[in-house]
Structure 1
Amino acid sequence: MSDRRFVSYLRVSTDKQGRSGLGLEAQRKSVADFTHSGQWRQVAELIEVESGAKATRPKLSEALALCRSHRATLLVAKLDRLARDAHFLLGLAKEGVDFVAADMPSANRMTVGIMALVAEEERRMISARTKAALAAAKAKGVKLGGFRGRAGTARETALARAARSRRADQRAASISDTIARLDPDGTDSLRALAAKLTADGVPTPTGRGDWTATGVARLRRRLGR
């Protein structure tokens, strides 16, 4: 694991703590101690002044957007700085963002384990439904098994194309906030914005190479800009 990107998320509960730095320095030190090996590279640090009981937190949303656009890990000093609600923690997995708590690194693996159990149960249910459908088809005299050289139907091809388009739209949306930050007026040329995205370390859709004017043009078309 080399040059692993992370976004640091620090939270305090009161304005007074935020202004005085009370609690922030301890969290920042925990993050620094956790990443001191040099295998981590910080993308940004976000500070939230908000109660952990609230699920709507602007800075956390910004941190998650940065993690998605940079394919980075969300790093918090303490697990309770993120949330005290297990349901909310599981919601992070749905965001497609990995997270690590410096005081409890195993929490990441534990959460993945929980999600894996859920996925396993879903696979079991899908398998059971598939077997039932095959048994019903066989009972009706439908010939099963083996590849008969059938190409995908027009509907199947359209569904596959739509799925690829949705993934591309989701990827473009994850970079939207970063583009707004790099080019707030929307006046940069395609080449200039490509250079900024590359310099900012934002991965291309393929994850390889640098951003090009053509890639930015495709991205803007998807974002309707």
Structure 2
Amino acid sequence: MTAKQRFVAYYRVSTRKQQASGLGIEAQRTAVANYLGDRTAKVVAEFTEIESGKRSDRPALGQALTAARVHQAALVVAKVDRLTRSVGFLSRLLEAGVDVRFADLPAIEGPTGRFMLQQMAAVAELEAGLISSRTKAALSAARARGQQLGGNRGTQLSSAAKAKGRQAQAQSAQRRANDLAQVLEELRADGASSPTELARALTARGIPTARGGVTWTAPQVSRIEARLLSSKPTQHQGK
């Protein structure tokens, strides 16, 4: 049986009045549902934000990104301008380690997909500033702005590059542990205390392991707990 691909849906409205009336939200839900279509997909969580697209301090978006990392799911949004009209903010979002999908765009994957997403976000930013006088010529000029893609192939990594890679892996593991901290607290509140019990509970919830596995083990939980413990600030008591 083919495993279902996980998605976290993120919706945004600009006012509480829109949220109460459902204006905009239902259209976004429909767009996301049509995007998922016949594919084998599972929406593991949904989040709705009441914010302006020009602001970057969005708690619901932060929660959605955390949920996407915990479940190793893709974040799906109805339209690129539903998420942000700021290229700088979108760049930071892409560095969050989450696969972002838009119902009005093809799948965003790899360096080429990220580059395309940057260009589409640039167009969205231009639209926000030129709503009253937007023209096809201006959009064409925005799409024409870009950069050459490329990179070195077959180059042996230096010691510094390898060290940087190890540091990135450690940071990724720590972020994964931080994302799971709240989940572990909830499981402990439900009565799971030992690493074995927590592993069973994580497996029952369907939360994947760091490598995408479906079954957790006690040693994996112990490593997560050790990272969380080591990341806590040390308290020095005076005499």
TM-score normalised per structure 1 = 0.72
* Greater relative CO (CA pairs within 8 A, separation 6+): 1
CA distance in 2, matches of 1:59, 1:47: 6
2:114 counterpart residue number:
112
Secondary structure of 2:178's counterpart equals helix
Which of the pair has more CA radius of gyration? 1
Q: Any conservation in 1 of the 2:200–2:216 contact (CA below 8 Å)?
A: yes
CA distance in 2, matches of 1:80, 1:115: 11
> In 2 relative to 1, CA 184–54 (structure 1 residues): closer, same or farther, beyond 3 Å?
farther
1:202 counterpart residue number:
207
1:91 counterpart residue number:
92
Q: Any conservation in 2 of the 1:5–1:42 contact (CA below 8 Å)?
A: yes
Gaps of 5+ in 1: 131-151
Alpha-carbon distance, 1:2 to partner: 5.4
- For residues 32-78 of structure 1, the C-alpha deviation after alignment (integer angstroms, 9 at most, x for no partner) is 11112142111101011111111010000000011111111110112
Secondary structure of 2:209's counterpart equals coil
Q: Any conservation in 1 of the 2:202–2:216 contact (CA below 8 Å)?
A: yes
Alpha-carbon distance, 1:103 to partner: 1.8
2:67 counterpart of 1:44: no
2:195 counterpart of 1:193: no
- For residues 117-164 of structure 1, the C-alpha deviation after alignment (integer angstroms, 9 at most, x for no partner) is 98956x56xx8xx9xxxxxxxxxxxxxxxxxxxxx9xx9998876665
> In 2 relative to 1, CA 119–56 (structure 1 residues): closer, same or farther, beyond 3 Å?
farther
The equivalent position to 2:187 in structure 1, one of 183, 186, 197, is 183
Q: Any conservation in 2 of the 1:74–1:99 contact (CA below 8 Å)?
A: yes
Gaps of 5+ in 2: 119-145, 233-239
1:70 counterpart residue number:
71
The one-letter code of the counterpart of 2:22 is G
RMSD of Structure 2 on Structure 1 (CA): 3.4
2:237 counterpart residue number:
none
Secondary structure of 2:56's counterpart equals coil
CA distance in 2, matches of 1:112, 1:6: 19
The one-letter code of the counterpart of 1:69 is V
Secondary structure of 1:183's counterpart equals helix
Alignment of 1:1-225 (within 5 A): 3-105=4-106, 111-113=113-115, 123=151, 164-180=169-185, 182-183=186-187, 185=189, 188-189=192-193, 190-224=195-229
Alpha-carbon distance, 1:175 to partner: 2.4
Alpha-carbon distance, 1:107 to partner: 6.2
CA distance in 1, matches of 2:164, 2:22: 52
